[in-house]
Amino acid sequence: MKYTISILSLILLTFSCKVTEKTKTSKNNIEVKENSTSPNDWIMLFDGTSTEGWRAYNSETLPPQWVVKDGALTFDTEKRIESEKKGGNDIIYAAEEFDNFELYLEWKLPEGGNSGIFYHLKEYPNGPSGIAPEYQLLDDLGWEKINNAILEDWQKTGADYAMYSPNEKQKIVKAAGKWNTSRIIFTPERVEHWLNGKKLFSFVPWSKDWHERKNKGKWKDAPKYGTFKKGFIGLQDHDSPLWFKNIKIKKL
Give Cβ neighbours of residue 111 (< 8 Å, ≥ 6 apart): 139, 142, 146, 176, 177
pLDDT at 39: 56
pLDDT means over runs of 10, the chain (252 residues): 45 43 34 42 97 97 97 93 86 98 98 97 94 97 92 97 96 95 98 98 98 97 97 96 98 98
Whether the predicted model's global pTM rises above the 0.85 cut: no
Name the phi and psi angles at 199, rounded to 5: -80, 125
